[in-house]
């Protein structure tokens, strides 16, 4: 059994910076880590954390350091891939001692757990909102899948390989999914894809494979499919995801919204 906690789209900016002049994402991340720590005993053991991009909002060194300080409060190693708001070299520099971090080029990696292979794919085109899986990355994926054989695989990438229905996000989606679809085709092992970018929990697919975007830590994009939907975010609390392999995949979305309970279903009758 393997268990992975995914956090995505933290968009950290170091204080006193705010995202869009409103979101104190450093504070939001700190509060999220507090909440995850409070609940850790409920879903432990977690083998590894995956941060699926938009780790910082502006790609600066100080924001990566701040993110690292927070994520290291959690008692599991962290694997990282960049999102469109990240910058590859500052991200690499901040986590250069992480065993999965390549010394140069795209931040593609493989991390093996006893019964599950995790593959991280770099979709970042620096300076652009949209993402791509270039020929080298697809080749990396094909080789990593070949080597996996019948072992189940979790693939992590920032941009979803499906349309979210949110027009302003689909305009900056993954440029082409055909290459990915081709690499996944005709494989007989269990493969699931997890991503971020669309700041919401969406279950989609690519070919016959399930692909899931996790809720974001810092903000939410509403499921508004109208052509004239307002372009922007909401401050509705986001969340994170827990993916398990236990003779099959199971993915849970965990809210960061406030609430109370659990309360018993039956209350004692009063006299």
Q: Which residues bind Fe ion (CB under 5 A)?
A: 9, 54
The burial of 258, by beta-carbon neighbours within 10 Å (0-12 exposed, 13-18 middle, 19 or more buried), is given as: exposed
- Facing residues of 129 across strands? none
Q: How far apart are CA 228 and CA 205, in angstroms?
A: 26
3-state class percentages of the chain: helix first, strand second, coil last, to nearest 5? 25, 25, 50
In the complex with Fe ion, the residue whose CB is nearer, 33 or 191, is 33
Residue closer to Fe ion (CB basis): 244 or 255? 255
In the bound complex, what is the minimum distance in angstroms from residue 171's beta carbon to Fe ion? 14
Q: Give me the least distance between CB of 9 and Fe ion, in Å please.
A: 4
**Cβ-closest position to Fe ion:** 54
Shortest spacing between CB 103 and Fe ion, in angstroms: 26
C-alpha angle 145/146/152, rounded to 5°? 45
Structure tokens at 208: 């016959």
State the nearest-atom distance from the C-beta of 93 to Fe ion, in Å: 21
Measured from the CB atom, the residue of 47 and 54 that comes closer to Fe ion is 54
Nearer to Fe ion (CB atom), residue 48 or residue 51? 51
Contacts of 189 (CB under 8 A, 6+ apart): 145, 148, 149, 150, 151, 152, 153
Alpha helices by DSSP H, 110-235:
135-148, 167-170, 178-184
Residue 155 CB, nearest distance to Fe ion (Å)? 19
Tokens 């109208």, residue? 226
Nearest residue (CB) to Fe ion, 9 versus 122: 9
Query: Closer to Fe ion at the Cβ: 144 or 217?
Result: 217
For Fe ion, which is the closer residue by CB, 152 or 196?
196
- The Cα–Cα gap between 177 and 187 comes to 17
Q: How far is the CB of 128 from Fe ion (least distance, A)?
A: 13
How many helices and strands in the chain, by DSSP H and E? 6, 11
Q: How far is the CB of 55 from Fe ion (least distance, A)?
A: 10
Ordered DSSP codes for 36-70: HHHHHHHHPPP-EEEEES--BSS--HHHHHHHHHH
């Amino acid at each position: 059994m393997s268990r992975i906690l995914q956090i995505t789209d933290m968009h950290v900016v170091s204080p006193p910076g705010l995202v869009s002049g409103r979101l104190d994402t450093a504070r939001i991340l700190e509060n999220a880590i507090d909440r995850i720590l409070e609940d850790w005993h409920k879903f432990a053991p977690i083998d590894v954390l995956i941060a699926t991009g938009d780790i910082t909002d502006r790609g600066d060194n100080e924001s990566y350091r701040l993110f690292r300080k927070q994520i290291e409060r959690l008692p599991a190693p962290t694997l990282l891939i960049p999102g469109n708001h990240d910058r590859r070299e500052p991200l690499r520099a901040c986590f250069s001692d992480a065993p999965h971090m390549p010394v140069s080029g795209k931040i593609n990696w493989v991390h093996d757990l006893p019964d599950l292979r995790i593959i991280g794919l770099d979709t970042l085109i620096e300076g652009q909102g949209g993402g791509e899986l270039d020929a080298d990355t697809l080749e990396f994926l094909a080789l990593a899948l070949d080597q996996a054989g019948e072992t189940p695989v979790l693939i992590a990438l920032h941009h979803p390989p499906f349309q979210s229905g949110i027009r302003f996000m689909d305009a900056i989606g993954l440029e082409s999914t055909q290459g990915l679809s081709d690499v996944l085709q005709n494989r007989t092992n269990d493969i699931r894809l997890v991503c971020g970018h669309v700041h919401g929990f969406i279950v989609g697919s690519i070919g016959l494979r399930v692909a899931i975007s996790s809720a974001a830590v810092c903000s939410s994009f509403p499921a508004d499919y109208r052509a004239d939907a307002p372009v922007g975010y909401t401050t509705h609390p986001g969340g994170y995801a827990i993916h398990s392999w236990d003779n099959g995949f199971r993915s849970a979305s965990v809210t960061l919204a406030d609430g109370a309970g659990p309360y018993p279903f039956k209350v004692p009758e009063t006299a």
